[in-house]
Chain A
């Protein structure tokens, strides 16, 4: 806006002029010299006031000057008045109302029409507008600066009664004087008087007096009541302000009225519809006068301005628009030739009207309409210039475009739109309601001023480009170029408000400083964007700005401008490489010019990356970056990874997910160069891998050709680097364990760290793990050292999806584990060993178990150990631990599932020594399976706080060593049965000795003999030595049972017999059972158990010393006795030679035949008399003697025997020709018995010599008893076991 003449675009504010106060500043009428001599002097005769009160009042009025207030309706509504104030002490000058005729010009002789006009009118010859101009800034200034709407005169109201009248009269005279001068001038300026009372009089009489005086003055001056003000003499500022506020508010209405009158006047003149004639008809130039249309524009413009004074913005806008349309219509501007100065004046007027329109729109909050109006004017003018002027493709147009954008920015600024406060963070305004829903250009949503400044800068750049394209001929100054050329070029350039081409871009000297203008606009834009945190936009603007500065070679500013952006805006890391590249090169150039070595290094380091396009001809060599740069000290640069990634990338991998303290872990460091092909190799002086957690850092130092074992393949180099431990000297302290952990220990290796462009260096590292815990590889620090500088780049490792592990230089594989940057270091593994040297496969029930364990300390130092034993299983027994040197301990807690013995102290186990621990378990009754867990917890004196534990688990199988089956076979009891008729055998029913059970009563009842056959099998996995087999008979209240003989098949010495696994042994026990009383003949149960005493056969210990293990096998219950009759067959051999087996010759043939005696014994334990029929079937295989058919009658409780003697015809054969049985016959197998030595006793001996003969005996029951049929069956049943027994 600066380029527009002052006052042309300003908001019109009513002018208030004060007179009669000492101001301290000189009065400047602001009139041009030509007008000054014709000016009207308004003068006060009274001396100016100098009282404090007057000054305070004046200051207050001046402070309320409204010319700088924001131009919007909101602000205006909050104020009761708006004045622009000017002050004068004694006198002021007003421009002449009527211009005099210039000298030498005579009014035409018949001059009734030759009226004098205002000097600002195109009718007056002294006006620059004469004869056909429209209107100019001077007219605007006349009302804004020169002709006040109100003249406010200050006087003192003297309170001294002696002087009062005199002074009042003086005031009256002065005011009347001024009034006369004003009316003489022809202006309708309102006169107002303010009287400052010089004495505070509180009395009512004096107040009346003052009132009276005021009235007199008012009347004497013929002033309106609204034009006279009294300021009471009061010290209080508030009072003064209140009075001043009232006064100004009142005056404002008067002033509005004044401007309304002026506006009315302008409209009246427009309404006349004729173009007034100038004072003197023009004689020069085209002698053309202003057309009626031109006058209409002038009148419309005037009434619009007066409306603006009145703040009637709608009215003003209407009038302005009307003026604008008329101005650009075909009748006015279209007719002005473009070479005429009036052309530019008209353009200027169009601009002014447009600006004032925009202000009206912004005033009313029609922001989108304003933006649209702005665009509309631009396009209208562009169109106009294209058609009628010199086109838009020249620097003049661009200059105007830039100016037009700036104007808008200034207007927006001036409008003070609250939505554009930086805190509101709004970039543009939403369209007002009336514009909503229309098709709006995005630009029509009013953007904040930053955008407008930037737009201006853009047009300035275009202007610069156009200016630089001006041919040299035109750039020469006109004095130096041929006149013909000057004439030709005079109309080729649009010079509306901008210099001629030879000034714009002169040859040989500096002309317009475009760069400076652009930078200025851009910096203003930048400030706006910065306020709203549009950092990337700021970067963009700064970049443009820097380019301009670079063109001006202002490198210092370039560096200062770009450095924060380069540092803070993440273009590079976000992947906007083209932007970053531009930024880097600009900064690099600036840094080189400024001599900022660090910046050069940083940018050069970054530009090495292949992400950027390669600059042809550039020597990419970081070591030569600083050549030609003067540096005071050796620059040292440290670059943090992330924000400015370098051309070098690095990855790190642990091969394993877990490792153990004290072991090595294999890892791989991979450094990859992404530098431009053809750039110089980078020699890294060292690289350092940093870890988070409990690992030392790893440092690789450069050493030329250090690698003997390195593989090269293509662009990959693989090398295994041995690492040595290196403790920093200054950090080294006592060699205690804790301090060592804190001190800074690094693992150092050396390698060739020369990195060619595009090369990948792979290092295999075996890193020893020291402390348990989680460790993560965090960062890599690269160092480049040279004589000129040192550079340090840190890179942080990133987790990635693919983790290639270099097996060789050419081959990779992918590591599967998810976090190859992390390793979990497990605690040091225990080196304590728990062994069970003698562990048996099986343990047996009823055997006390004793286990021996060996605990060996494999640690380097002695260990203080404790032992926990847990036995887990079903109903585990208690455990006793025997530790040498310690007291025996038995498990304290026995639960149904678990037996636990905790913390049995084992004392100190020396290094590489072992300790034998015994474990004892009592005999277990049932076969079961247990888990035995031994846990040795120990502490090492080197690290007493950390318990280390070793656990060993053993299985304990406890099985039954034997199983057995049993048969109970009947035998004939040799003793006679008691007879009911025998008094000895009959017990007298004891009536009194029911409680004398203590004395054993001798059994007197029926007796039977039985034979218990047991066959036991060894289920053990190894041979067992059975020392004894026995049975235990449970005593019964009704019978007495005794073991008569037993055949255990064991050596009689008691040494025992080895029973091999899975073999069956037999043992028979003869039992004699007798009921206690004869009367008792009921069934009786027999409970017995088999007892096997055994020891382990392979036990080295003496069998005699260790007590044998006793396994008791309960025998299922047998039932003996009963009321059923029983038939028993017994066989005995009556062989006379039997006693002399060797004497065969002496024996007769008959006597050589074996004679077998078969005794059939029938027992009748019932209470009935029973008769049995007995028939012997003859057989061809033997002869017999005895009754063929007989009948046996048995009394109750008696038995009878029938004897047969059998003589077999044939030698005993294996054939068993036993006949079939029927229900009425029974078969008794007769077994020849070898070893039987006479007697009726059955001798049982299984063996090959057993022979059998079929003997058929038919027993029939006697008739007469109805139970006989069943008795036959019962008989058979009784015999059956007997027969089986044979």
Chain B
């Protein structure tokens, strides 16, 4: 039990019109089969992502009333259950990044834990059970960088993906962006400060 550490189970990008732009799902360690399997189905992840919109809505109203939250980092949106938790970030153009963390997504074997030589990894081992408040910030930063890169592509038309007045919008089909998301999701472990 103590050997389970958090990992990213899903990365979602949601557009201004509450439309899903991108979803990446990452497998988690399943101790019963000793393999890596996604902890939920894509449909369930879609439901989880969409349910974060409630929280975004609620929070932005509260933030507006309290005059806080200017950084766009919403921190923990809610814990879906004792295993999955959703963290959120909103850019100032209304695009939202959601990270769904599986608190028991990776196994830290005894062998692996013993093999962690440097202090950073020891810290990870020690911190395996929980997450600090700003721990998701590097993920959001990396996602934003990737999103900005996507925006800089002259062939990417943001209005097509989130029409200014209308509803819905196309999903992001950029392979590079998808790869970037995959890289972020796979490389993150607690304590990582730069992705």
Which residues in A have some Cβ–Cβ distance to B below 8 Å? 375, 379, 382-383, 393, 425, 427-428, 437-445, 447, 451, 454-455, 458, 532-537, 539-540, 543, 570-571, 573-576, 578-579, 582, 642, 798-799, 801
Contact = CB atoms under 8 A, between A and B. Distances in A.
A926 B1 CA distance: 109
Chain B interface size, under 10 / 10 to 19 / 20 to 34 / 35 or more? 35 or more
B7 interface: no
Interface of B: 1, 17-20, 32, 42-43, 46-48, 50-51, 53-55, 58, 61-62, 76-83, 85, 101, 103, 127, 129-132, 157, 159-160, 163, 165-169, 171, 190
A455 B50 CA distance: 18
Contact of B17 (A393, A574, A578, A799): A574
A360 B170 CA distance: 52
Given A447-B79, A540-B48, 16 more contacts: A425-B61, A443-B81, A451-B79, A454-B81, A533-B54, A533-B58, A534-B51, A536-B51, A570-B18, A573-B168, A574-B18, A575-B171, A576-B50, A578-B42, A579-B50, A798-B166
B130 A441 contact: yes
Contact of A536 (B53, B79, B103): B53
A208 B115 CA distance: 89
A681 B96 CA distance: 40
Given A570-B18, A574-B19, A455 B81 contact: yes
B169 A575 contact: yes
Contacts of A440: 130-131
Ranked 9 nearest A-B pairs via Cβ: A439-B130, A442-B85, A442-B79, A575-B19, A534-B54, A537-B51, A575-B168, A540-B47, A443-B82
Contacts of A439: 127, 129-132, 190
A537 B47 CA distance: 8
Nearest to A581: B43
A543 B44 CA distance: 11
A484 to B, nearest CB: 30
Nearest to B79: A442
Given A455-B81, A798-B166, A543 B131 contact: no
Nearest to A534: B54
Contacts of B159: 801
A830 B82 CA distance: 78
Contacts of B157: 801
A579 B190 CA distance: 31
23 contacts: A425-B58, A425-B62, A427-B55, A428-B76, A439-B132, A441-B82, A441-B85, A442-B85, A443-B83, A451-B79, A455-B81, A532-B58, A533-B58, A534-B54, A536-B50, A536-B54, A573-B167, A574-B18, A574-B168, A575-B19, A576-B19, A579-B46, A801-B157
B167 A570 contact: yes
B129 A574 contact: no
Contact of B103 (A443, A447, A571, A582): A443
A674 to B, nearest CB: 13
A873 to B, nearest CB: 52
Given A425-B62, A442-B85, A576-B20, A537 B54 contact: yes
Contacts of A458: 81
B84 to A, nearest CB: 8
A534 B130 contact: no
Given A425-B58, A425-B62, A543 B78 contact: no
Given A442-B101, A536-B53, A540-B47, A383 B167 contact: no
B89 to A, nearest CB: 15
With most chain B CB atoms within 10 A of its CB, the pick from A425, A427, A798 is: A427
A442 B76 contact: yes
A578 to B, nearest CB: 5
A801 B170 CA distance: 14
A447 B78 contact: yes
A427 B52 CA distance: 11
A445 B79 CA distance: 8
A576 B78 CA distance: 20
Contact of A438 (B50, B130, B171): B130
A573 B50 CA distance: 13
B46 A578 contact: yes
Contacts of B85: 441-443
Contact of B167 (A437, A445, A642): A642
A458 B80 CA distance: 11
A582 B83 CA distance: 24
B103 A427 contact: no
A116 to B, nearest CB: 47
| B55, B79, B83, B190: most-surrounded residue (chain A CB, <10 A) | B79
B87 to A, nearest CB: 8
Contacts of B42: 578
A453 to B, nearest CB: 11
A536 B166 CA distance: 20
Contacts of B165: 799
Nearest to A540: B47
B2 to A, nearest CB: 9
A177 to B, nearest CB: 58
Contact of A582 (B43, B79, B80, B160): B43
A428 B43 contact: no
Contact of A574 (B82, B130, B131, B167): B167
A571 B82 contact: no
The interface centre, meaning the residue of B20, B54, B127, B190 with most chain A CB atoms within 10 A of its CB, is B54
Given A425-B58, A439-B132, A440-B131, A455 B82 contact: yes
A427 B78 contact: yes
Nearest to B127: A439
A583 to B, nearest CB: 10
Contacts of A576: 19-20, 46, 50
A534 B131 contact: no
Contact of B79 (A443, A535, A537, A798): A443
A641 to B, nearest CB: 10
Nearest to B45: A578
A455 B83 CA distance: 10
B81 A451 contact: yes
Contacts of B169: 575
Contacts of A579: 43, 46-47, 50
Contacts of A540: 47-48, 50-51
Contacts of B127: 439
Contacts of A573: 167-168
Contacts of A642: 167
Contacts of A438: 130
B131 A383 contact: no
Contacts of B76: 428, 442, 445
Contacts of A443: 79, 81-83, 85, 103
B96 to A, nearest CB: 12
B1 A379 contact: yes
A451 B78 contact: yes
A1081 to B, nearest CB: 96
B147 to A, nearest CB: 18
B171 to A, nearest CB: 7
A801 B1 CA distance: 55
Given A375-B82, A535-B54, A536-B54, A575 B20 contact: yes
A846 to B, nearest CB: 69
Contacts of A570: 18, 167
A1258 B32 CA distance: 146
Contacts of B62: 425
Nearest to B62: A425
A1067 to B, nearest CB: 81
Nearest to A393: B32
A445 B132 CA distance: 12
A428 B62 CA distance: 14
Contact of B58 (A375, A427, A451, A575): A427
Contacts of B130: 438-441, 444
A219 B85 CA distance: 68
Contacts of A574: 17-20, 50, 167-168
Nearest to B157: A801
Nearest to B53: A536
